[in-house]
Amino acid sequence: MPQINVTVTADCIVNYQAGYPRGPANGVLICYGRDVSMTQIMPPPQRGKPRTDYERAYNVIPQDATEERAVEIFRQGWRAGRQTSGASNDDSGIGDLSKRVANLYDVPESKRLGLIAWYEVHYPGVQVVFK
């Protein structure tokens, strides 16, 4: 919760809500004058942090996919629950989320173990699914 600083140059009453301990941080400020300024101090931003935790599935479209194949993969993800689609393995791994799934399409069997290892190094915790 952000901290709020209040500068008061008017007649004010602090009204304490029931159930809260008495103290300036827990009261409701009621001012009858006009000269009141409030400054809200927000916590520093955390880049890459989601607003809320959610499960994310990202459908990786192969770099060499035709436009028709890309549309088909997008459509599959859309119908499966409005999943994200794109052509970046990195984009499929980012995000501080409890559950991240990277659906990799059309990957030859010979490259699968290498991709699993790549995700473990760069984006630990991502579930890799080959489709």
Query: Phi and psi (nearest 5°) for 74?
Result: -55, -45
Q: What is the pLDDT of residue 124?
A: 97
Q: What is the pLDDT of residue 24?
A: 47
Q: What is the CA radius of gyration of the chain?
A: 25
Q: What is the pLDDT of residue 22?
A: 47
Q: What is the pLDDT of residue 6?
A: 52
Residue written as token pair 């709020």: 4
Q: What is the pTM of this model?
A: 0.65
* Residue ranges of the chain with per-residue pLDDT less than 70: 1-45
Q: What is the pLDDT of residue 15?
A: 46
Q: What is the pLDDT of residue 49?
A: 82
Residue type, 16: Y
Q: What is the pLDDT of residue 18?
A: 45
